[in-house]
């Protein structure tokens, strides 16, 4: 997977930080999270076509997480996409979604499939599962956990060695075994299982019991860090996370990589964040606009 960091600002954009927007380059279709103002332009700077969006997830309906949604919806409609686009959001925010979706006049050329959510299972196939968890914030807010399930893959070197190509591979995959060159070939003998892969999206929240469930054993966690520990009282008052607490969560829950974002405009030097977390959890990425994180 690749996560494209399109914007890293908190409530207010700065000269160097656009508002929230994150694009997950996923095997099952691109996923856009929380498009704030300027999201369309950030797609252009990142060299990504918005037409790659298959799903849009909104964590909550504060402006820095959703005011770019009307532009994105109109852009996708203008492109007349051939694939479906699904939009997921907390059910309590439906009035705000409805207002945003008709924020200006435009020609509706595609249908958007809406999924108002509560905490729980969002979607599951034989290949992946998506879960939603309630977070602690001043408006109903959901965090999201994406799980790529362990899957069987052919070992390419063995296929080449046995000269197995084309339709016969489809038969082997469907039936589990085939006859080839006078031998019975079993799929398991030519395959391996990939590891489960987990991505967790955690914006915005104060300290709460849902966070460990969201992030446990994740390969990558994207978490807000609006404040540094010196402003812990503000973080508690406004139900946001400090960088130090995010690092502690990552350390305690077997997270492989932590990426921090959603920085308050009060912090001009993001090196302060690196210094704040390096003793607690070294594998932390301090996000900048247009960063790409592979995992």
Is 98 an active-site residue?
Answer: no
pLDDT at res. 182: 86
> Between these two residues, 169 and 4, which has the higher pLDDT value?
4
State whether 220 and 238 are in the same domain: yes
Judgement on whether residues 145 and 90 belong to the same structural domain of the protein: yes
The overall average pLDDT reported for the chain is: 96
Distance of CA 267 to the CA centre of its chain: 25
Which residues lie below 8 Å from residue 2, measured CB to CB, with a gap of 6+?
24, 25, 292, 293, 294, 295
* Burial tier of 24 (Cβ tally within 10 Å: 0-12, 13-18, 19+): buried
Query: pLDDT at residue 170 above 90?
Result: no
Domain range holding 103?
2-151+195-294
Q: Are residues 135 and 243 in the same domain?
A: yes
Banded model confidence at residue 119, pLDDT cuts 50, 70, 90: very high
Using alpha carbons, select from 121, 123, 132 the residue that is nearest to residue 93.
132
Q: Write down the pLDDT at residue 173.
A: 85
State the total domains in the chain: 2
Q: Do 15 and 159 lie in a common domain?
A: no
Between CA 185 and CA 265 the distance in angstroms is 61
Confidence of residue 68 (pLDDT cuts 50, 70, 90): very high
Same domain, 137 and 22: yes
Question: Same domain, yes or no, for 247 and 173?
Answer: no
Kindly indicate the confidence band of residue 116, based on its pLDDT and cuts at 50, 70 and 90. Answer: very high
Say which of 34, 64, 148, 289 is annotated catalytic: 64
Tell me the per-residue pLDDT of 14-40, one tens digit each, with 9 for 90 and over. 999 999 999 999 999 999 999 999 999
pTM above 0.85, yes or no: yes
The CATH number of residue 226's host domain is: 3.60.15.10
Sort 73 into a burial class: Cβ within 10 Å, 0-12 / 13-18 / 19+.
buried
């Amino acid at each position: 997977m690749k996560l494209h960091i399109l914007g890293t600002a908190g409530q207010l954009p700065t000269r160097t930080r656009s508002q929230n927007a994150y694009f997950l380059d996923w095997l099952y279709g691109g996923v856009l999270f929380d498009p704030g103002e300027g999201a369309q332009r950030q797609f252009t700077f990142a060299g990504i076509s918005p037409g790659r969006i298959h799903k849009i997830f909104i964590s909550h309906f504060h402006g820095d997480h959703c005011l770019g949604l009307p532009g994105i919806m109109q852009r996708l409609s203008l492109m007349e996409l051939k694939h479906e686009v699904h939009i997921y959001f907390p059910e309590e925010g439906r009035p705000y979604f409805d207002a945003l979706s008709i924020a200006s006049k435009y020609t509706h050329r595609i249908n958007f499939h809406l999924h108002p959510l509560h905490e729980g299972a969002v979607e599951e196939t034989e290949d992946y599962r998506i879960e939603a968890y309630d977070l602690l914030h001043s408006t109903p807010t959901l965090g999201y956990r994406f799980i790529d399930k362990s899957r069987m893959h052919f070992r390419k070197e063995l296929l080449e060695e046995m000269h197995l190509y084309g339709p016969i591979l489809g038969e082997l995959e469907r039936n589990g075994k085939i006859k080839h060159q006078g031998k019975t070939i079993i799929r398991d003998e030519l395959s391996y299982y990939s590891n489960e892969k987990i991505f967790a999206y955690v914006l915005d929240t104060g300290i709460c019991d849902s966070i460990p469930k969201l992030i446990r054993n994740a390969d990558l966690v994207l978490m807000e860090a609006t404040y540094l520990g010196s402003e812990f009282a503000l973080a508690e008052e406004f139900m946001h996370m400090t960088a130090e607490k995010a690092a502690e969560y990552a350390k305690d829950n077997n997270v492989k990589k932590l990426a921090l974002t959603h920085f308050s405009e009060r912090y001009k030097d993001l090196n302060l964040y690196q210094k704040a977390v390096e003793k607690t959890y070294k594998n932390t990425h301090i996000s900048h606009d247009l960063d790409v994180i592979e995992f």
